[in-house]
Amino acid sequence: MMLLAGTVPLKDLPLTMGTVGLEDGFLLVDGLPIPCTQGTGAMVGAALAATGYLKLDPPQALVAGDTGQGGGSRAIYEYLIENVARLSPEVLTLHYCLPDMSLTRRVCEAIEKCPRRPVMIADAASMYAAKAAGLARAFDIFTPDATEIAFLADAEATHPAYIARHLFDTDIAQTPVLVDIAYESRSAAKVLLAKGSIDYVVVDGSIVATVTEPDVPALEAIGGTGDTITGLVSAFVYCGLELHEAAIIAARTNRTAGQLAQATPATKVREVVKYFPEVFKEHLCQWSGVCSIDPEG
């Protein structure tokens, strides 16, 4: 099972766990519609596009409505603490949640009880909480953007709003320096996909790949294009790719879909997501060696 967990901006959506589907263009979790916009929805939508193409089981999603007050976030944390050992997912991705270091620590403790440790991926505020709580090394993949890399490199910061000015000012070309600092202070996961005009894929502190093409600068302005990368990485890991391969192919997929969508800062993320099947069809076999999946194994 691939389990994707995060809040969605629907005030009244109760804690919901179930299979992700698509109906008339709407994303569904356990039959309930969620918006395919910036945040968990974009991540889930991207992962579903990949599992659909690869003929894998669709993602399972754990979602709850939360517009910032934290109730839905706490419900997700508590559900994972109680149930993750029983669910024992192969891939667990934590996404938009109110950062809470104490609850994140308890989630990580609960994961230790899984019969088989899941591949642990974190982005958005779940990554903030993991770093702030000193738990980054319990995670396999983080997918920070350029500012968030500076956050990981700032040992004192518990949220990107507090990173030191000199780190915020750092040019993207200096990302390798920030990566080094983040690993030295044990604030980075085993693998980092640092997103920016240059995407850096880092394994245990060593940059193993960069992705620069196609160059679509407008993607940075489009809300949700970081979230789609997280969903793609999750799906590619779930299909059996090595962590760094999953990261490289996710970055290429996102950029190529952005190019096909002729992305501008006014483009919406769903317009990028809709090009993923075309990108997979044209490139995935060549990029990954994964040309088809036999669902019977």
List residues near another protein by CB under 8 A: 7-9, 35, 37-41, 66-70, 72-73, 95-102, 104, 123-129, 132-133, 145, 147-148, 151, 156-163, 165, 168-169, 214-218, 220-226, 259, 264-268
Distances (CA, A) of 211 to 74, 182, 200, 215: 36, 20, 7, 9
Does an H or E element contain 52, and which?
Answer: helix 40-54
Q: Smallest distance from the beta carbon of 61 to another protein, in angstroms?
A: 15
The whole-angstrom separation of Cα 87 and Cα 89 is 6
Nearer to another protein, 74 or 283 (CB): 74
Q: Which of 164, 168, 194, 166 is nearest to 179 (CA)?
A: 194
Nearer to another protein, 10 or 54 (CB): 10
Q: Smallest distance from the beta carbon of 29 to another protein, in angstroms?
A: 15
Nearer to another protein, 227 or 245 (CB): 227
The whole-angstrom separation of Cα 139 and Cα 124 is 14
CB 82: neighbour CB atoms within 10 A?
10
Q: Which of 167, 206, 210, 174 is nearest to 190 (CA)?
A: 206
Q: Smallest distance from the beta carbon of 127 to another protein, in angstroms?
A: 7
The whole-angstrom separation of Cα 161 and Cα 159 is 5
Nearer to another protein, 26 or 162 (CB): 162
Q: Smallest distance from the beta carbon of 160 to another protein, in angstroms?
A: 4
Q: Smallest distance from the beta carbon of 231 to another protein, in angstroms?
A: 14
Structure tokens at 30: 């356990």
The whole-angstrom separation of Cα 238 and Cα 265 is 31
Q: Smallest distance from the beta carbon of 88 to another protein, in angstroms?
A: 26
Q: Smallest distance from the beta carbon of 159 to another protein, in angstroms?
A: 5
Nearer to another protein, 57 or 214 (CB): 214
Nearer to another protein, 23 or 169 (CB): 169
| Residues listed for the chain | 297
Q: Smallest distance from the beta carbon of 245 to another protein, in angstroms?
A: 25
Nearer to another protein, 59 or 160 (CB): 160
Nearer to another protein, 135 or 239 (CB): 135
The whole-angstrom separation of Cα 236 and Cα 214 is 20
Listed in order, strand segments (DSSP E) in the chain are: 2-8, 16-23, 26-29, 32-34, 60-65, 91-94, 119-122, 141-142, 191-194, 199-203, 206-211
